[in-house]
Amino acid sequence: MEGMTNIIVKVMVEVLLIIALATREIQQGKISELISDDRRSFLIYSPSERFFKKLLGLSEIEDALRRLDKLTQEEHRMAAAQDLLATQRVDERVMSIENDVQHVDEGVKGIDQRVQGVGDSVKDVLDGINVVIDG
């Protein structure tokens, strides 16, 4: 559980970093100041896009997004592991309950046999009473 808390904290820190970087880029207006509208399409499809992004400082956001992606994948794996552990615990408890039910069932069968024995004894007593009454 502590590991999951740590990863969630790391995810939140990364999200805040991305928001801060994006806010800084928006406030600085780097792209709009350096590139006119008609050249934006050139940068989007140009092979040198990564170079221009690094020059403009845009790779920080991409790097942060990659780190966030890795963290969320790690969080997903940890959550799946915790789900599996919880499922195993439930399975163990169900097996324990099943064993308890089997013991109760065996106890009920024993009681049923004793009741049958008492019924047979009562029948014998009634037969004896009938013999006395008839005799």
Q: Can you give the pTM of this predicted structure? A: 0.51
State the first-to-last Cα distance of the chain, in angstroms, to the nearest integer: 82
Q: In this structure, are residues 52 and 43 in contact, taking their beta carbons and an 8 Å threshold? A: yes
What are 96-112's pLDDT values in tens digits? 999 999 989 888 888 98
CA 111, 113, 119: angle at the middle one, nearest 5?
Answer: 105
| pLDDT of amino acid 22 | 82
pLDDT in the model for residue 41: 47
Backbone angle region of 57, left / alpha / beta, with phi > 0 → left and psi within -120 to 50 → alpha: left
The DSSP call for residue 46 is: -
